Structure formats: structure tokens, C-alpha cells
């Protein structure tokens, strides 16, 4: 049995333009390293904005998962 240390990941996502910002959509992120990868996270509730992924906005997202080391992809 492997026990992994959990850490807090923080993302700052800058959306330059979003031609579909009035449509419902789902955006997911998975971090990948040489040794492992995180689970898939839905980017739906940023820390700093009510409406995520709008044009010319920066959204901050946080999630906790296993420490995968240096992210390569």
C-alpha cells in the first residue's frame, strides 16, 4: 500500500477570449508528472470570480490531491 502526501494546488487561469462564454460548458484539468498524475478536476468555482472563464479575466482555482512531484504536462 502506497501512502501519498497531499498538497494544495493553485491555478491562475487567464482567459484571453472566449467565444462561447454565454454557453454552458465544462472544463477539466489533470496534472501529469513523470511518475504519476492527479485526478481530473472540474474548473467551476474560482476563488475570485462568480462567473468562471470569462473573456479577459483571471480565475484562481484550488484543489487538494496527491503530490505528484514536478509537473511535466
pLDDT tens, residue by residue, 21-60 = 666 778 899 999 998 999 999 988 888 888 788 888 899 9
Decide: helix, strand or coil at residue 53: coil
Task: Please give the Cα distance from 54 to 72 (Å, whole number).
Answer: 27
Answer whether residue 63 shows pLDDT above 60: yes
Total structural domains within the chain:
1
31: CB partners within 8 A, 6+ apart: 9, 37, 38, 65, 68, 71, 73
Residue 45 structural domain = 6-66
So what's the pLDDT on residue 18?
67
Higher per-residue pLDDT: 19 or 8: 8
So what's the pLDDT on residue 53?
81
Task: Identify whether 42 is part of a domain.
Answer: yes
For residue 33, CA distances in Å to 5, 11, 28 come to: 15, 16, 17
Task: Identify whether 72 is part of a domain.
Answer: no
Task: Please give the Cα distance from 19 to 44 (Å, whole number).
Answer: 18
Amino acid at each position: 500500500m502506497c501512502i501519498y502526501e497531499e498538497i494544495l494546488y493553485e491555478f491562475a487561469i487567464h482567459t484571453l477570449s472566449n467565444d462561447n462564454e454565454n454557453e454552458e460548458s465544462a472544463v477539466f484539468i489533470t496534472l501529469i508528472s513523470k511518475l504519476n498524475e492527479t485526478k481530473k478536476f472540474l474548473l467551476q468555482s474560482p476563488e475570485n470570480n462568480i462567473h468562471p472563464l470569462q473573456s479577459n479575466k483571471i480565475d484562481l482555482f484550488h484543489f487538494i490531491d496527491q503530490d505528484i512531484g514536478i509537473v511535466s504536462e
